[in-house]
Amino acid sequence: MTAPSRHAHRPLATPTRQYETSRVIVTEWRFPPGGHTGWHTHAYDYVVVPMTTGPLTIDTGAADVISDLVAGRSYGRDRGVEHDVINDNPHEFVFIEIEMLP
């Protein structure tokens, strides 16, 4: 799929790699108000641990889906997911992403 560019005007979220081994990568994502990750495809299965409670908009390329996250309530997805994650909140949003390497 070609990367959608409809969010290119938004500020980018900041990833900070916190920990990495041959089995796992842990990254903190900080989204400024209105920020987004940019279009990406996940190469690994992953778990997200929200540090902030609130909605994020997930651009799937076909639709925008609102995902209500709760601080400390984890969820996971399989590799291959393509999307852009957008923080439409008036405040910073933070989550931890844990990628599980083969």
CATH number reported for the structural domain that contains residue 44 in this entry: 2.60.120.10
Q: How far apart are CA 19 and CA 91, in angstroms?
A: 26
Q: How far is CA 90 from the centre of its chain?
A: 17
In a domain, 5, yes or no: no
> For residues 14 and 85, is the Cβ–Cβ distance under 8 A?
no
* Residue 30 located in a structural domain: yes
- pLDDT string in tens for the chain (102-residue length): 455 567 778 999 999 999 999 999 999 999 999 999 999 999 999 999 999 999 999 999 999 999 999 999 999 999 999 999 999 999 999 999 999 999
Cβ neighbours, 10 Å, residue 66: 9
Give the CA count within 13 Å in the CB-facing half-sphere of 88.
12
- The token pair that represents 40 in the structure block: 């990406």
Q: Answer whether residue 7 is part of any domain.
A: no
Count of the separate structural domains present in the chain: 1
Domain limits for position 44: 14-100
